[in-house]
């Protein structure tokens, strides 16, 4: 006969498992509705590590953008050209995550070969922002962009499907999805995290990016992934890493963000980032952030980065040119998909010329956005395009780097001459800018309209994110929550907004410290424009 205690225990267990089943069902539904994953890893990937002390990432669920090679598992880059490609090795970041105890849960959806800003150019369908999901209706009630190209990674974190997600950032591809989906997102300094095993888009711009539930988790992941790797020719040597670490300790001693005392922190606001395209809600969030930091003693100064307006054109020239070269390998001759139209028969006499197979394969399996960028890249690498566009874009990149070095008071350890000597009070520790023009835009259902909208949105939006990529310096997107006005005022939009922090090369610790402070600010009261 069951005792009263056992009956209570059984009832509690039933309630517990029923609640867990409901949560799992909700997660499965939101995963389907947002179209977050391309591949889910089997349960064996979830094995717990029992080392003592526990590994840094033990027990944390991590999703990986489908641009990173995973041994024996599909790595498609969201393209029909690679829809059957299974690598024989793991990318550097994948092996490091496993080494530090992470539970790899799957490969996330994205823009094809990372070319896009809305995660709509995917062979597996577009990604939808999970903030449009209604739990009561168990469906998406508002279809908005998750950003791109790492939209699936950001959506996975925002939907609670993982704790951390790995993506890539070429011109904002990690920060824009993070901002639209309301999760912190880091673009590290160029060359600090190895890209070995990452399918390349733009060699001189690609970086491994990190999204997570908090800045602290991003910092833990960054520390696990940041190390020299001789397999990656762009990996920064140990000498520069040590020098950067020494200077970081010197500069970090100037302020103690753990106590939220920012009296020694100097924040720069670039005037070129404030264009007429910025929405009022973004400006309100930015002003509230400035007010929050000022209350804690931070000093604010206006700075100028004159080459900002030329960044976007230079970026598209350089990225497209490098993509044209990097994607030349997808010919149908060695690996990946191969056109059935020009596939050779059993007889050698009827085999088509390789050039015909090459053209037919790329025409059939590349998406329209990829084709557009490859055509632009091929032209800029031509004799006339090289002189008129490619070389001019390189000059813009050098000017952008010099301007950032000039405004920061920390020196750039990669430069032969230090632009700001230790102790200089003329520069700033960090730059604060808007991360987006507004909240996530609506997704267009019509294919032609979607392509036009994506092109227009990315061209305007990228002007906030591309400059840091051209300069190769770290940037962190942090969500900002604004409190709704008291009744009878209209309720404020619940869609996420974000600001962007930019630091000198190798100064990720500055971003982490300030990012942690901003995460604790909660919902901010809007600040009138005249106050600032």
Overall average pLDDT of the 338-354 stretch: 60
Between the CA of residue 448 and those of 78, 110, 137, 453, what are the distances in Å?
20, 19, 30, 9
The whole domain housing 107 covers 26-251+432-531
Same domain flag for 236 and 145? yes
In a domain, 273, yes or no: no
User: Above 60 in pLDDT, residue 1?
Assistant: no
SS3 32: helix
Q: Which residues of 126-144 are buried (b: 16+ CB within 10 A; e: fewer)?
A: bbbbbbbbeeeeeebeeeb
Cα distances from 516 to residues 173, 218, 260, 272, 521, in angstroms, run 22, 10, 10, 26, 9
Q: CB count, 10 Å around CB of 455?
A: 15
**C-alpha distances out from residue 523 to 16, 175, 368, 526, Å:** 32, 21, 41, 9
Confidence bin at 138 (pLDDT 50/70/90): confident
Q: Which residues are catalytic?
A: 65, 149, 173
Mean pLDDT throughout 85-91?
A: 97
Whether pLDDT at 209 is above 70: yes
Is the domain of 329 the same as that of 443?
A: no
pLDDT at 288: 94
Does 199 fall in a domain?
yes
Asked if residue 129 belongs to a domain, the reply is yes
Q: Is pLDDT above 70 for 133?
A: yes
- Among the residue ranges 37-46, 236-245, 462-471, the one predicted with the least confidence is 37-46
Which of 267-281, 377-391, 439-453 is the least confident region? 439-453
Token pair listed for 116: 């896009």
236 and 359 in one domain?
no
Last residue of a domain, one of 362, 385, 408: 385
pTM: 0.90
pLDDT above 80: residue 13: no
Residue 407 lies in a domain: no
Question: Which positions ≥6 away from 98 have C-beta within 8 Å?
Answer: 90, 104
Tell me, yes or no, whether 340 and 483 share the same domain. Answer: no
Looking at the structure, tell me whether residues 370 and 436 fall in a common domain: no
Residue 427 lies in a domain: no
C-alpha distances out from residue 10 to 1, 21, 479, Å: 14, 16, 42
d(CA 452, CA 172): 19
Mean pLDDT, residues 106-135: 96
Q: The domain that contains 436 carries what CATH number?
A: 3.90.1300.10
Tokens of 521: 């600010």
Name the pLDDT band for 419 (thresholds 50, 70, 90). Answer: very low
Is 18 inside any structural domain?
no
More confident residue, 47 or 415: 415
DSSP H or E segment with residue 266? strand 266-270
Query: Is residue 467 classed exposed, middle or buried when 0-12, 13-18 and 19+ CB atoms within 10 A define those classes?
Result: buried
Q: What is the tally of structural domains in the chain? A: 2
Q: Measure the CA angle with vertex 24, ends 23 and 29; round to 5°.
A: 100
Residue-averaged pLDDT of the chain = 87
Pair (126, 182) in one structural domain? yes
Encoded tokens for 457: 């949105």
Among 385, 415, 442, identify where a domain stops: 385
Instruction: Write out the two tokens for 64.
Output: 């990986």
- Taking the alpha carbons of 430, 436, 438, 439 in that order, is the dihedral positive or negative? negative
Give the mean model confidence (pLDDT) for residues 498-506: 98
Residue 417 DSSP SS3: coil
- Give the pLDDT band (50/70/90) at residue 394: very high
Count CB-CB contacts under 10 A for residue 337. Answer: 20
Reported confidence tier of residue 167, pLDDT bands at 50, 70, 90 = very high
Q: Per DSSP, which regions of 425-468 are E strands? A: 430-434
Q: How confident is the model at residue 358 (pLDDT cuts 50, 70, 90)?
A: confident
Q: Mean pLDDT throughout 376-405?
A: 95
């Amino acid at each position: 006969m069951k005792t009263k205690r056992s009956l209570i225990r059984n009832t509690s267990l039933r309630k517990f498992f029923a609640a867990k089943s409901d949560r799992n069902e909700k997660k499965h539904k939101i995963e389907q509705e947002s179209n977050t994953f391309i591949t889910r890893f089997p349960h064996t990937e979830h094995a717990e590590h029992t080392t003592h002390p526990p590994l840094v990432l033990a027990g944390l669920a991590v999703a990986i953008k489908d641009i990173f090679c995973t041994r024996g598992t599909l790595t498609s880059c969201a393209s029909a050209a690679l829809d059957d490609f299974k690598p024989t090795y793991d990318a550097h970041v994948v092996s490091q995550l496993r080494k530090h105890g992470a539970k790899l849960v799957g490969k996330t959806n994205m823009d094809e070969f990372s070319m896009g800003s809305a995660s709509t150019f995917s062979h597996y369908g577009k990604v939808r922002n999970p903030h449009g999901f209604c739990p009561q209706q168990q469906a998406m009630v508002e279809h908005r962009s998750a950003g791109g190209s790492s939209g699936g990674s950001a959506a996975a974190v925002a939907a609670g499907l993982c704790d951390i997600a790995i993506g890539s950032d070429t011109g904002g591809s990690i920060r824009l999805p993070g901002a639209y989906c309301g999760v912190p997102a880091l673009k590290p300094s160029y060359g600090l995290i190895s890209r070995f095993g990452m399918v390349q888009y733009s060699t001189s711009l690609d970086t491994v990016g990190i999204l997570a539930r908090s800045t602290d988790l991003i910092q833990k992941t960054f520390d696990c992934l940041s190390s020299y790797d001789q397999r990656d020719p762009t990996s920064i040597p140990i000498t520069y890493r040590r020098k950067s670490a020494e200077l970081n300790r010197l500069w970090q001693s100037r302020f103690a963000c753990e106590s939220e005392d920012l009296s020694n922190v100097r924040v720069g606001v670039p005037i070129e980032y404030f264009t007429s395209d910025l929405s009022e809600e973004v400006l309100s969030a930015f002003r509230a952030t400035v007010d929050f930091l000022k209350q804690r003693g931070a000093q604010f100064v206006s700075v100028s980065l004159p080459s900002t307006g030329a960044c976007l054109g230079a970026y598209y020239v350089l990225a497209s040119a490098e993509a044209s070269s990097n994607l030349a390998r997808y010919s149908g001759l060695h690996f990946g998909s191969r056109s059935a139209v020009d596939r050779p028969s059993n007889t050698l006499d009827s085999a088509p010329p390789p050039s015909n197979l090459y053209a037919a394969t790329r025409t059939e399996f590349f998406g329209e956005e990829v084709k557009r960028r490859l055509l632009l890249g091929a032209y800029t690498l031509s004799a006339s395009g090289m002189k008129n566009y490619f070389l001019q874009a390189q000059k813009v990149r050098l000017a952008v780097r010099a301007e950032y070095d000039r405004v920061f008071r920390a020196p750039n350890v990669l430069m032969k001459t230090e632009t700001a000597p230790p102790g200089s009070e003329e520069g700033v520790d960090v730059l604060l800018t808007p991360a987006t023009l507004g909240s996530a835009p609506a997704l267009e259902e019509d294919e032609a309209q979607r392509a036009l909208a994506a092109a227009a949105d990315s061209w305007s939006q990228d002007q906030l994110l591309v400059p840091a990529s051209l300069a190769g310096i770290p940037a962190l997107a942090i969500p900002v929550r604004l409190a709704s006005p008291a009744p009878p005022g209209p309720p404020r939009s619940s869609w996420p907004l974000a600001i962007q922090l930019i630091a000198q090369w190798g100064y990720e610790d500055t971003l982490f410290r300030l990012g942690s402070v901003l995460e604790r600010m909660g919902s901010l009261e809007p600040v009138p424009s005249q106050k600032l």
